[in-house]
Amino acid sequence: MDKNDIAVKVENFIKENFVFDNSKNLESDQSLLDTGVIDSTGVLSLIMFLEETFEISINDEELVPANLDSVNKIANFMEKKLS
């Protein structure tokens, strides 16, 4: 699975579960935390989705904004985990 496929899956999950205003665009580099798209509880849901969908395990030390704060960062992180 390439980075674009990962990004599409992640973006769809976020839109279906966290973006309740369909008029707002979700930019791939947009901070999910700073813009309030996802809160701390949402991060837990996102992690569960990533682990189940991509059949990986995310370690505590990997739970940092550099890996999880935007669709692009998540896609890059997942691409590395899957390689």
pLDDT in tens, 25-70: 889 999 999 999 999 899 999 999 999 999 999 999 999 999 999 9
Return the pLDDT at 65.
94
Q: What is the CATH number of the domain that holds 39?
A: 1.10.1200.10
| Domain extent at residue 76 | 3-82
Q: What is the DSSP letter of 31?
A: -
pLDDT of residue 83: 92
**pLDDT-based confidence at 16, cuts 50/70/90?**
very high
Work out how many domains the chain is built from and give that number: 1
pLDDT of res. 43: 94
Q: Name the residue with tokens 């999910």.
A: 32
The number of beta carbons lying within 10 Å of the beta carbon of residue 52 is: 9
Q: Where are the alpha helices (DSSP H) in the chain?
A: 3-17, 40-54, 65-68, 71-82
Token digits of residue 5? 């496929």
Q: How confident is the model at residue 1 (pLDDT cuts 50, 70, 90)?
A: confident
Predicted confidence at residue 53, as pLDDT, reads 98
